[in-house]
Structures are given as structure tokens and as C-alpha cells.
Amino acid sequence: MGKRLMKGNEAVVHGALMGGATHFFGYPITPASEIAHGAAQYFPVSGRCFLQAESEVAAVNMLYGAAGSGARVMTASSGPGFALMSEGLSYLAGARLPSVLVDVQRAGPGLGNIWPEQSDYNMVVKGGGHGNYKNIVLAPYSAQEMCDFTRRAFSLADTYRMTVCILSDAYIGQMMEPVELSGDMAEGKRKDWAVYGDVKSRSNLITSIYMDPQLLEKHNHQLQSLYAQVEEECVAYEPYQLDDADVVFAAYGITARICMSAVDKLRNQGVRAGLLRPQTLFPFPKEPIARAADRGAVIIAVELSNGMMADDVELAAKGQSRVLRYGWLGGVIPTVDEIVERTVRDLERGGVQ
């Protein structure tokens, strides 16, 4: 198989189709629109459904309908649109409908701008809507991973009957890289809980309402056990020069790319730096962070937000070592040198324990 040069956003569409997606409902928004463009290009000609909804609110509810009818469904948006979908996310979680949502993050709050931030972290990783629910959240850092993670998202969604979010950013979405498609196309199977409009599924009900508090409590506890199972089974991260690192960057998406270069530069200067790159944000790779903290490594959470992921990093480190927070806001991204210099300065100031 050959490689094609494509944007991360286009790679999402390729991954989705290889992952067995049959329905795309979406609403345009920069910097995620290429995903809708790609879906509009490929879904109808390959006998699948692409529909531009009247709003993100409608789109996520179309997902609810199609997912409840057994289809492999997806949408893509950016922060403002994702926020509108929060209502639907909660219903999808309550009704346990498998679905895939891609968030190509831009800067906020409000309209903000179209440059990258990672400030949707709390909204996406912690749920977004009301209620005690979580989404599985995958964090790609290359066009290839945009493809591969989206593909994987569909099988995860079906396996756990959950929403799987791809938390990307404007740079990973807009950047072009070679992408290789390999393996077989996955396909959804008939689900015994879905409504198919036939005799066999006639008694099925897609709902999130449980009027009896005891029943709703039970439902909620089942959800929590499901999330615990996901935490057991789905954590993914990639270590880079981590084993002997005295200073460990924790970063995902575009910032992980920058930190990778910073690690190389710091190592050239004799600083034993490493990178721990979460590939899943829920479940969060707590254990490798705890290990780094236990051996006294300084941990630096680097992100394009005011410290949203850093909170999770600190919780994982359990106070066993210093956790520094580097954040850039408003669509500004750090250069490699900025991170290197700031790291060196902070290490000098605090020393490595």
C-alpha cells in the first residue's frame, strides 16, 4: 500500500471509513471543516450517508437516532460546536449509544479564534454535558494517528457501547503528513439492543430516562463500573526517552510534537529529558506518571490551556514530585526553544530532586 499526503482532518475520514462508519452528520466549523468536506466526498459515493445538519444540536441528535438504529456513526466539530453537542453527548451516554465525535480544538472562550488551543480538555475529557458520565478520549498527534485512532474509535465505541471522542487540535487537523492505509475494513455487527424497525428488535427501547431513583442509581453504578473497566483495559500512551528521564514532559497532540523536539534539544545539552504522551486522555495514563513521580522526576505538563490536563497530571503524581505547568493560550503555540529555555531555567531554580 502506498502513502498519501493528507491533512489530519482528511485522515479522520479515511480512518472512519476503514473503521466501518456508515453515517456522518455534521455542521461546518473552522478548523474542522475538512472532515465534513472529506465525508461529503467519500460517504455518498461509497453508499454511505453524509448529511449536513442545521446545527450541531441537530447533528448530535441525528447521531443518536442512527446509532440507536445500529449504525456506526460520527460527527466532527470544534469547541463552539462541540459545546452545543454537549446536550446530545449526555443523552448518548445515558442511552449508551456507540458514537464517534471528533473535536479539532480552536482557541476560546467564545468565538476566540481558529488557531490551536487545548482548552476543550475539561469539556471533552470530563464529559461535557450533565450527569455522571465519561467518554473515551483518544489524542492523536499525527495525521497517521488521526486515521488510525478514528478507525479504532469505532470498535471501541461498539465494544463498550460508549461515545469515543477524538481530541485533536487545529494544527494536527490542518497539518499534512503521509498516511498509509492498511488492513481490512471493519464492519459493525447487529446489536441486540438496537432498534432496527423489525420483529426481532420490536421490544427494544433507546432511552436515558429512569423515573425510579433506585433504577437510575443502578444504571449510574453500571456506568461507573463500565468506566472502571475502560480504565483497566484502554489506557494508551507513548513514552519517548522516558526511562532515565529526570524531567518528564506530559503533553498530547501538537504540544507533544513540540515537546518531542524539546526533549532532543535538551538531551543534546545534557539534560535527561523525556516525554510521556497520553494517547488516551480518558482513561488517563496515571500509572506511568506515578512511576516517574515516585522516582523523583520533575514533571512538566505542557499544554495549550490554563492547566486542564495538568490537574490530571498532578492527581496522578500524588504529590510525590514537582509538577510544573506550562500553558499557552489564545492560539499562540510555543517554539521548541521557548520550552527548552524555560525548562532549563526552572531546573536551575528548583534543581532536580
Nearer to other proteins, 234 or 250 (CB): 250
SS3 per residue for 144-182: HHHHHHHHHHHHHHHHHCCEEEEEEEHHHHHCEEEEECC
Can you read off the three cell numbers belonging to residue 149? Answer: 485512532
Q: At closest approach, how far in Å is the CB of 220 from other proteins?
A: 17
Distance from C-alpha of 83 to C-alpha of 86, rounded to nearest angstrom: 5
CB of 350 to other proteins, least distance (A): 25
Select from 28, 37, 40, 49 the one that contacts other proteins (CB under 8 A): 49
DSSP string, 53-104: -SSHHHHHHHHHHHHHTT--EEEEE-HHHHHHTHHHHHHHHHTT--EEEEEE
Q: How far is CA 22 from CA 25, 51, 99, 185, in A?
A: 10, 11, 11, 12
One residue of 28, 80, 87, 239 binding other proteins per CB under 8 A: 87
Residue 198 makes contact with other proteins by CB under 8 A: yes
Of the candidate residues 177, 292, 305, 310, the single one contacting other proteins (CB under 8 A): 177
* R_g of the chain, CA atoms, integer Å: 20
Stretch that binds other proteins, among 20-28, 241-249, 283-291, 310-318 (CB under 8 A): 20-28
> DSSP letter string over 223-262?
HHHHHHHHHHH---EEEES-TT-SEEEE--HHHHHHHHHH
Q: What phi and psi, each to the nearest 5 degrees, are found at residue 138?
A: -105, 145
First to last CA, the chain: 49
Cell numbers 468506566: residue: 227
- Which one of 41-49, 119-127, 132-140, 154-162 is the stretch in contact with other proteins (CB under 8 A)? 41-49
40 is a contact residue toward other proteins (CB under 8 A): no
Interacting residue with other proteins among 28, 40, 48, 236 (CB under 8 A): 48
Measured from the CB atom, the residue of 174 and 320 that comes closer to other proteins is 174
Using the contact rule CB under 8 A, the part of the chain among 56-64, 158-166, 292-300, 306-314 near other proteins is 56-64
Spell out, one character per residue from 88 to 127, where the chain touches other proteins: x when CB under 8 A holds, - when not. x--x---x------------------x-------------
Decide: helix, strand or coil at residue 349.
helix
Q: Is 196 in the site for other proteins (CB under 8 A)?
A: yes
Residues within window 273-332 making contact with other proteins, judged by CB under 8 A: none
Q: Which of 32, 36, 39, 73 binds other proteins (CB under 8 A)?
A: 73
In the bound state with other proteins, the residue whose beta carbon lies nearer, of 194 and 290, is 194
Q: Which of residues 230-269 bind other proteins (CB under 8 A)?
A: 254, 257-262, 264
- Is the CB of 114 or the CB of 344 nearer to other proteins? 114
Among 31, 98, 128, 327, binds other proteins (CB under 8 A): 31
SS3 201: helix
Of 35, 123, 166, 175, the residue at the interface with other proteins (CB under 8 A) is 175
The binder of other proteins chosen from 47, 270, 319, 351 (CB under 8 A): 47
Q: Candidates 17-25, 228-236, 277-285, 341-349: pick the segment binding other proteins (CB under 8 A).
A: 17-25
Backbone angles phi, psi at 165, to 5 degrees: -105, 140
Q: Rounded to whole angstroms, how far apart are CA atoms 49 and 1?
A: 27
